[in-house]
Chain A
């Protein structure tokens, strides 16, 4: 299968196999005008199988969201057909507006204008808790 290489844009590599659609949704890539390619189940020496997303434009990516969804992702910035920067993401300390608190006793369940924010409370076990009620987020 051939996917055109991009001239100026971003390649999200080393996405856990099966996570790319979730990432596509969370990052709002469906709202972009440019070409976006999702490549699933690519053979990988390191991971066995992985997903890749290619975005044919230089956009501002929320690295915190990427880190939350999958801290193993690498972000490659492409300019004039060459990779000019490779970034590793990491688990962010806070995740804003991505996870919704499901606790019916939480203030976020009744106050509509409050942003849902989760804080990393255990890096080893990747546990995020709502900053308001401390309920645990469902793991990605």
Chain B
């Protein structure tokens, strides 16, 4: 039985195969409508989510299966003090596969040790979010046509952004990837990502403060949210905030083939004026999230 806790649990070949399945589903969704008939997905969301939970549920419904679960800890026995281990033991009696989000880092891994059915990590605090990374990889593959030989700029909160760390880990196994890290000093990439992923894998990377400087060399721009609460004082936040907001003006020097990604939710870091730019791919990215989760559910259920 397989679980998906960390994107690195999957080999490059397995990721390629998931992307291929997702592309097949997109090409002919009818073929997959009954694949999970009589199967149940439990979505255990101990903290709120819009996209991730709904995309998991839509994925299972589109595969002909059904869904059960809860969308916040308050509506589960966790509010009575039940442990994650006991919750998982219970739910794995009722469902065939579990997608779990929890505010504590490592909760899905702990759950996987007690579960009788596959567990998918749907986000554990600021730690991992492997299905977002799969979504990002599918989007890059579909928009750019390849998963190697490109320059990607990560912009915004690179310190706490779990999606950035996971995607950098995943990309470290592909060839000829160049990374540009665009952030204020306060939100630079953590040392362990720099040393244990980028440098260990000999990935070419540069760090800078201003996205306009590097815009012309980027094939992909991966935006993230710069959150007010990450700053020690309001002045720094206000001073830096605007540098990390993407506007049509900042895209003037960008390639016409640039692909703009964002894991969403967005607050104001991408101006809505960019939404109609053909280079904006973040809503395609949201849609891809459902298809890659369909592929993942199929894979894990086939390996039980």
Contacts and interface: CB of A to CB of B under 8 A. Distances in A.
Interface residues of B, number: 17
Interface in A84-140: 103, 105-114, 121-122, 130-134, 136
B114 to A, nearest CB: 10
Given A114-B110, A132-B110, A134-B127, A107 B196 contact: no
Interface in B107-126: 107, 109-110, 124-126
B112 to A, nearest CB: 11
Contacts of B127: 105, 133-134
A130 to B, nearest CB: 7
B232 interface: no
B105 A103 contact: yes
A106 B196 contact: no
A107 B192 contact: no
A107 B102 contact: yes
B83 A122 contact: no
A109 B196 contact: no
Nearest to A133: B105
B104 A106 contact: yes
Interface string B132-168: 0000000000000000000000000000000000000
B83 A109 contact: no
Interface in B188-219: 192, 196
Most-contacted residue by chain A among B85, B126, B127 (CB, 10 A): B127
A114 to B, nearest CB: 5
A61 to B, nearest CB: 27
A93 B127 CA distance: 22
A105 B126 contact: yes
B84 A106 contact: no
B110 A111 contact: yes
What is the interface residue range for chain A against chain B?
Answer: 10 to 19
Contacts of A107: 84, 102, 104-107, 109-110, 124
Nearest to A136: B192
A76 B299 CA distance: 50
Contacts of B104: 105-107, 109-110
Given A105-B125, A105-B126, A113 B85 contact: yes
Interface string A30-69: 0000000000000000000000000000000000000000
Interface string B58-93: 000000000000000000000000011100000000
A114 B192 CA distance: 25
Contacts of B125: 105, 133
Interface string B248-266: 0000000000000000000
Nearest to B102: A107
Nearest to B104: A107
A132 B84 contact: no
A106 B85 contact: no
Contacts of A136: 192
22 contacts: A105-B103, A105-B125, A105-B126, A106-B104, A106-B105, A107-B84, A107-B105, A110-B104, A111-B84, A111-B85, A112-B83, A113-B85, A114-B85, A121-B196, A122-B196, A130-B106, A131-B109, A132-B110, A133-B125, A133-B127, A134-B105, A134-B192
Interface of B: 83-85, 102-107, 109-110, 124-127, 192, 196
Given A103-B105, A109-B104, 18 more contacts: A105-B103, A105-B105, A106-B105, A107-B84, A107-B102, A107-B124, A108-B106, A110-B104, A111-B83, A111-B85, A111-B110, A112-B83, A114-B110, A121-B196, A122-B196, A133-B125, A133-B127, A136-B192
Return the 3 tightest CB-CB contacts between A and B, nearest first.
A132-B106, A133-B105, A107-B104
